[in-house]
Amino acid sequence: MTQPLFSQVVYNNDGLVPAIVQQADTKEVLMLAWMDEEALRRTLTEGRVTYWSRSRGEYWRKGDTSGHTQTLVSASYDCDGDTLLLQVEQTGAACHTGTRTCFDDRDLRLDDAE
């Protein structure tokens, strides 16, 4: 078995770790996606953010088809090592729906609960 790239990063049983993506200058939370060790390696070496698509079972580099790219500014891990924080320079929409973030206009309110 090969040595992990970063022993500090804790992957789940599927070999994935969630990555919270934040606009570097404004600290706006853009999206959450999943990475495996190879996606993290590609991101750190190429400077363009690469994720693992759980639904498609393949790597995807943000912006390759949409033109809405994410350039890595910094990457860190949380106190437990089980979540990454990627600070990026986002060009265009971050969400696949075409909105700036995946959290636009999706506020939860207790009075909306069913």
pLDDT at 9: 95
Within a domain: 33 = yes
96 within 8 A of 21, measured Cβ to Cβ:
no
In a domain, 10, yes or no: no
The arithmetic mean of pLDDT across residues 11-30, rounded, is 97
**Average pLDDT over the chain, rounded to whole?**
91
6 assigned to some structural domain: no
- Containing structural domain, residue 91: 17-103
Q: Is 40 part of any domain?
A: yes
Assigned domain for 113 exists: no
Q: Residue 82 maps to which CATH number?
A: 3.10.20.810
Total tally of structural domains belonging to the chain: 1
The verdict on residue 108 lying in a domain is no
